[in-house]
Amino acid sequence: MESLMPHAVAAMSGIFKWPLLKGLFKRKPISPSRRSVTLLTVPTDVLHIIFQILRDETGPITGRYRHLEGFDREAHNGAQLLPLSETCHYLREEALPWIFREVYNWNRRGEDVWPDTLWPFFVTVHLRDRSVRHPADLALPLNIFSSLPMLPALTKVTVRIDPAVPAELIQALSLVPNLRYLEIHQARFDGTPTPLSLPFAALESLQLSICGFQGCFIRSDNIDRAGETRNVFLLLRTLTDRLTRLQISGDYLSLDFLALDWVHLWEFTVTDHTPTPYIAVPDLICRMPALRDLSILFSADATRNAQDIHPPFQLGIADGGLLNDCSPLLTTITLSNSEPADPLFAQLPPSLESLHLLTMRDWFVDLSRSSTHRRILLAPLTSTTVITTLQHISHLQDLAELSLTLNIFPTAHLIESIAAIFPRLRILQWGHSTYGHGNDFCEDVRDETIVTALHKFPFLTDLRIALDFTERDFQEGPQKRAAYWFLERLPNVRTIAFLWNRGVRYYGYPAVVWKVWDRSLLLRPPPPSSPPPSIHIDFEAPAIPPWEIESDNGS
């Protein structure tokens, strides 16, 4: 076995660069005074930590697909442990659960399903009829459906298929004993009616989205909308006493949704397009007594009507009651592309702790033009509308967190205006939707007048700045210098975070990745003024969808 260890290390030498871990692969002579530490002698829990590190470490994705959403998610992380598992029976047995905890329905030389000896290890299963990596269609036979209820450790399933979601698949998923998270993307539900009996014994979180890896605009023209909303309603009706989290495209919602009682739902997100007919926010949540976190993230829709449905949107209803009349536990609300004087603002509960007024954007194809064009329709706050909006939410005296998407970089006067209304803020975030100054975009953030204005927040602990610019690749140098500069001048602030918005559908939405620095940064020398060109953020850069990479002529 010892002779196999160096070969395993050599096979992985292009991936792993940690001398400490590499040293654990080698057998050293046993000293009379102490035994050497190897992967065969470390405690099992330590071995599993090492497996976790090796499994989670992904190699850089290079070339034009480096930022493709979903590309790296199709990489089989467990494959990195395969050479190690081939060294001995002990390491094979310990590594198998880590290698096969997340699997896809790749074509397997004519076999319909995975080998049943591996079934106990599956925690996450991805079902697709096409791959981002390969053009060939993927098989999705009924045998796979029938195998799902027999996977004892399965807790999460994601589905991405072009045809209508089969009723047989929904039925099989409902029989998975420990399924807690279900995501169905780029989905159509106008097929066979949803079964009326769906156990879903453990399901807690459901995500239903019309969007896929190519955005929200590529949907078939022949979808039976009435049948689709009916089937979705039948599915939701079986889950009202189970779900704690629900994220759903507004395209799937109908007026029937208002009759459902969501007794345990504490996180509710409606995204993509507005429902047809339109449903105001107070009506959407009128039967959600446990709701704590509400997100309404609507973007432009050019797919259902001759005339675009585009922001800003009016989300509330005139003379409506406070949202906490029916949802008394609401603490966090996120709204996108809303009217500056939306009636909903007056209905926000005074006890609200977190408010995010963001911009959600979507890409779609303009079919009226001879070539493919990208159109981005969004409604960030302007220097005028932000003041109007602040006046309508001035009753939120307990607000601790505020996020704003602006079309300008905020002035010191604007920051002081925010401080005058919300002096108790602990977290402040602003996003800039049209910022563009090349690789040194963070240099302009270092404004002494802005720092002076930020001192008006006596309890501020976290500052987040989201910027948008034209360069695809960016370096952390400008951000790191700006973070160092802010931390020096704001002694009460614990963290400074920056986000590159280019290609991100949601400004500030939790799915995106922030680059965060805390006060330990000040223990190091100041960052150099010109970072080396070899530094890149390969793993934390936000995803650019495929159509964003293509040229305007579709080539």
Q: What is the pLDDT of residues 360-381, one digit of tens each?
A: 776 554 444 433 444 556 777 8
Give the chain's mean pLDDT. Answer: 76
Task: Decide if 293 contacts 331 (C-beta within 8 A).
Answer: yes
Q: What is the distance between the alpha carbons of residues 526 and 65, in angstroms, rounded to a whole number?
A: 34
- Report pTM: 0.81
**Band of the pLDDT at 45, cuts 50, 70, 90?**
confident
DSSP at 432: E
Strand-pair partners of 294: 268, 333
pLDDT (0 to 100) of residue 1: 40
Strand-pair partners of 267: 245, 293
Average pLDDT over residues 247-273: 94
Task: Select, from the ranges 278-292, 317-331, 399-413, the one with the highest average predicted confidence (pLDDT).
Answer: 278-292
Predicted confidence (pLDDT) per residue in 445-498, tens digit: 788 999 999 999 999 999 998 876 544 434 567 788 889 999 999 999 999 988
**Band of the pLDDT at 48, cuts 50, 70, 90?**
low
Selection from 285, 348, 337, 333 nearest residue 312 by Cα? 337
pLDDT (0 to 100) of residue 35: 60
Percent of all residues in the chain with a pLDDT value above 70, rounded to a whole number: 66
50 alpha carbon, distance to own chain's centre: 26
pLDDT (0 to 100) of residue 463: 96
**Band of the pLDDT at 509, cuts 50, 70, 90?**
very low
Predicted confidence (pLDDT) per residue in 84-119, tens digit: 666 677 776 677 777 788 888 877 665 678 888 889
Pairing of strands 495-500, 462-467: parallel
Predicted confidence (pLDDT) per residue in 152-207, tens digit: 999 999 999 888 999 999 999 999 999 999 999 988 999 988 888 899 999 999 99
pLDDT (0 to 100) of residue 142: 83
Selection from 461, 531, 525, 527 nearest residue 496 by Cα? 461
Percent of all residues in the chain with a pLDDT value above 90, rounded to a whole number: 39
Buried (b) or exposed (e) across 32-59, using 16+ Cβ within 10 A?
Answer: eeeeeeebbeeeeeebeebbeebbeeee
- How far is CA 375 from each of CA 369, 372, 468, 502, 546, rounded to the nearest angstrom? 12, 10, 16, 14, 15
Task: Decide if 244 contacts 289 (C-beta within 8 A).
Answer: no
Alpha-helical runs (H) found in 384-429? 385-392, 412-421
Task: Decide if 138 contacts 163 (C-beta within 8 A).
Answer: no
Q: What is the distance between the alpha carbons of residues 462 and 427, in angstroms, rounded to a whole number?
A: 5
- The SS3 call for residue 447 is coil
Task: Decide if 350 contacts 398 (C-beta within 8 A).
Answer: yes
Lowest mean pLDDT among 237-251, 265-279, 294-308: 294-308
Q: What is the distance between the alpha carbons of residues 3 and 481, in angstroms, rounded to a whole number?
A: 49
Lowest mean pLDDT among 168-177, 266-275, 537-546: 537-546
Q: What is the distance between the alpha carbons of residues 379 and 364, in angstroms, rounded to a whole number?
A: 17
Average pLDDT over residues 308-329: 85
